[in-house]
A = this chain, B = another copy of it.
Amino acid sequence: MTPSALLADFYQLTMLDAYLREGMHGPAVFELFVRRLPPQRNFLVAAGLEQALDFLEQLSFGDAEIGWLERQGGFSQQLLDYLRHWRFKGEVHAMPEGTLFFADEPVLRITAPLPQAQFVESRLLNIVHFQTLIASKAARAVLAAPGRLLVDFGMRRAHGAEAALFAARASYLAGFAGTATAQAAMHFGLPVFGTMAHSFVQAHASESAAFEAFARSRPKRPVLLVDTYDTEAAVAALPALAGRLAADGICLGGVRLDSGDLAAHARAVRRLLDDAGLRQLTVFASGNLDEYRIAQLLADAAPIDGFGVGTALDTSADVPALDAVFKLQSYAGQARRKRSEGKATWPGAKQVARRLGGDGCLMHDSVQLEDEALPPGSAPLLQAVMRGGRRLAPSPALDAVRAHHAAQMGTLPRRLRGLAPAEQPFTAEISARLQALARELDAAPH
């Protein structure tokens, strides 16, 4: 089923109805940010803006949705008419996709009449939170595997269709080489990878028959899955196969390992291949991998050229959700502050000013009111991307986003590049004016 305008929390509609009855159409500012970084993340990577803007541009209510709301009862005719003519007319400021960010830094800001800015909350978060989650996870695998090929293998255990597709996009953006998911490759123009499963080997009368049939069907540097029965025995038989194939001009591309002690198998397989003069064959590994296991394998000097990362990537298994929220920061020109215990927000429309050090690395982020002067040497991270509900410019190509992200990773200080929690985490400074505004609002009656 396709996401509809009703892919939203029901309370958005009950609130919207009340706003309309009260005539509360004043401009509201909502910001999307992460309240705190989980200990397993030293930085986050903004992603999903492209699909968020698509959502805002395309959101509309059809007869089916209006009819369902009518049947729920309790909604005003005014609300139903309002939804029938819905077109998002707001303004969006956002960090470019691929940008590194930290706790309390807005990555996206909506300025729109209150009913509009309110209504889009649930799906905006749903889109931006997930891609940010996956891009942030993927960037860690890229750090763990410098110079290695990384491929998204996660579709089957991703949380549904959209998760699989978005995970392929978000991981590519963060430096993966491509994906095994065909539709993601088609839709986003990603390099696609994939050879054979164990079932292919099993279906054949023998492993060597399976390998030969596959290589003749896919003669362009085929990669063979060698662990269905006995990894080393399978590889020991490859020189003979390589010889038969060479006679027909077919060169094997490599082997894939998917079980057991990957480091030990990789060493044994590499030796067997090298001894047989098959130095050009690569060794690719998969099977419950994540950035931690990849780092361990490479620390153990396992001769592995590439990794398929599946479930742990597409579900961000160690951190399956971020504390991402979308909060009202100002209404009708007045800053607002939620003060719930442990969930207080910084009020007002804000900007993030970033300063790099002489070494080109992140030095200082300031979260400040939008109209504050930028500290010397700082650049603003949030840029206007939509006005009147229309994009200000065509979205950058995904490869441009990927290049921007790679440049951003070049600014990540050494202390934040490890997989373990940084001893000295990076936190943005909250500007003095912003702190004063918060104190002022706290002192006001409610």
In the complex, which residues of chain B have a beta carbon less than 8 angstroms from the beta carbon of A182?
Answer: 6-10, 12-13, 68
Stretch at the interface among A309-317, A413-421, A424-432: A309-317
Q: Does A10 lie within 8 Å of B229, measured CB to CB?
A: no
Q: Does A160 lie within 8 Å of B155, measured CB to CB?
A: no
Chain B CB within 8 A of A197 CB: yes
Chain B CB within 8 A of A321 CB: yes
Chain B CB within 8 A of A125 CB: yes
Q: Does A156 lie within 8 Å of B126, measured CB to CB?
A: yes
Top 4 nearest A-B pairs (CB, nearest first) are A160-B162, A10-B194, A11-B194, A159-B159
Of B9, B76, B199, the residue contacting A181 (CB under 8 A) is B9
In the complex, which residues of chain B have a beta carbon less than 8 angstroms from the beta carbon of A192?
Answer: 10, 72
In the complex, which residues of chain B have a beta carbon less than 8 angstroms from the beta carbon of A133?
Answer: 159
Residue on B with the closest CB to A68? B186
In the complex, which residues of chain B have a beta carbon less than 8 angstroms from the beta carbon of A382?
Answer: none
Q: Does B260 lie within 8 Å of A180, measured CB to CB?
A: no
Q: Does B340 lie within 8 Å of A260, measured CB to CB?
A: yes
Chain B CB within 8 A of A118 CB: yes
Contact code string A299-312 (vs B, CB < 8 Å = 1, else 0): 00000000000010
Q: How far is the CA of A42 from the CA of B52 in the complex (A)?
A: 39
Q: How far is the CB of A336 from chain B (nearest CB, A)?
A: 4
- Chain A interface category by residue count: 35 or more
Contact code string A311-349 (vs B, CB < 8 Å = 1, else 0): 100011100111010111001000011111111000000
Chain B CB within 8 A of A187 CB: yes
Give chain A interface residues in 3-25, CB to chain B under 8 Å.
Answer: 3-4, 6-15, 17-19, 21-22, 24
Chain B CB within 8 A of A86 CB: no
Q: How far is the CA of A1 from the CA of B160 in the complex (A)?
A: 13
Chain B CB within 8 A of A57 CB: no
Residue on B with the closest CB to A288? B323
Q: How far is the CB of A180 from chain B (nearest CB, A)?
A: 5
Contact code string A74-103 (vs B, CB < 8 Å = 1, else 0): 101000000000000000000000000000
Q: Using a CB–CB distance below 8 Å, which chain A residues touch chain B?
A: 1-4, 6-15, 17-19, 21-22, 24, 28, 30, 64-65, 68, 72, 74, 76, 114, 118, 121-123, 125-127, 129-130, 133, 153, 155-166, 180-183, 185-187, 192-200, 202-203, 206-207, 213-214, 216-220, 227-230, 258-261, 311, 315-317, 320-322, 324, 326-328, 331, 336-343, 445-446
12 contacts between A and B (CB under 8 A): A1-B183, A8-B181, A10-B192, A17-B218, A18-B214, A68-B182, A114-B203, A126-B164, A130-B158, A198-B340, A315-B315, A315-B321
Q: Does B114 lie within 8 Å of A129, measured CB to CB?
A: no
Q: Does A218 lie within 8 Å of B160, measured CB to CB?
A: no
In the complex, which residues of chain B have a beta carbon less than 8 angstroms from the beta carbon of A324?
Answer: 156-157
Q: Assuming the A-B contacts A7-B165, A181-B7, are A207 and B446 also in contact, with contact meaning beta carbons closer than 8 angstroms in the complex?
A: yes
Q: Does B160 lie within 8 Å of A336, measured CB to CB?
A: no
Q: Assuming the A-B contacts A2-B2, A17-B217, are A160 and B156 also in contact, with contact meaning beta carbons closer than 8 angstroms in the complex?
A: no
Q: How far is the CA of A158 from the CA of B320 in the complex (A)?
A: 9
Q: How far is the CA of A250 from the CA of B91 in the complex (A)?
A: 38
Q: Assuming the A-B contacts A162-B162, A203-B331, are A21 and B217 also in contact, with contact meaning beta carbons closer than 8 angstroms in the complex?
A: yes
Residue on B with the closest CB to A134? B159
Q: How far is the CA of A230 from the CA of B338 in the complex (A)?
A: 10
Of B194, B216, B228, B326, the residue contacting A338 (CB under 8 A) is B228
Q: Does B163 lie within 8 Å of A3, measured CB to CB?
A: no
Tell which of A2, A11, A213 has the most Cβ of chain B within 10 Å. A11
Q: How far is the CA of A393 from the CA of B36 in the complex (A)?
A: 50
Q: How far is the CB of A90 from chain B (nearest CB, A)?
A: 15
Q: How far is the CA of A187 from the CA of B7 in the complex (A)?
A: 10
**Can you add 6 more A-B contacts, CB < 8 Å, to A4-B186, A158-B159?**
A13-B182, A14-B196, A18-B196, A21-B213, A68-B182, A160-B162
Q: How far is the CA of A166 from the CA of B327 in the complex (A)?
A: 26
Tell which of A156, A197, A214, A259 has the most Cβ of chain B within 10 Å. A156
Of B202, B214, B261, B340, the residue contacting A227 (CB under 8 A) is B340
Residue on B with the closest CB to A79? B217
Q: How far is the CB of A188 from chain B (nearest CB, A)?
A: 9
Q: Does B328 lie within 8 Å of A198, measured CB to CB?
A: yes
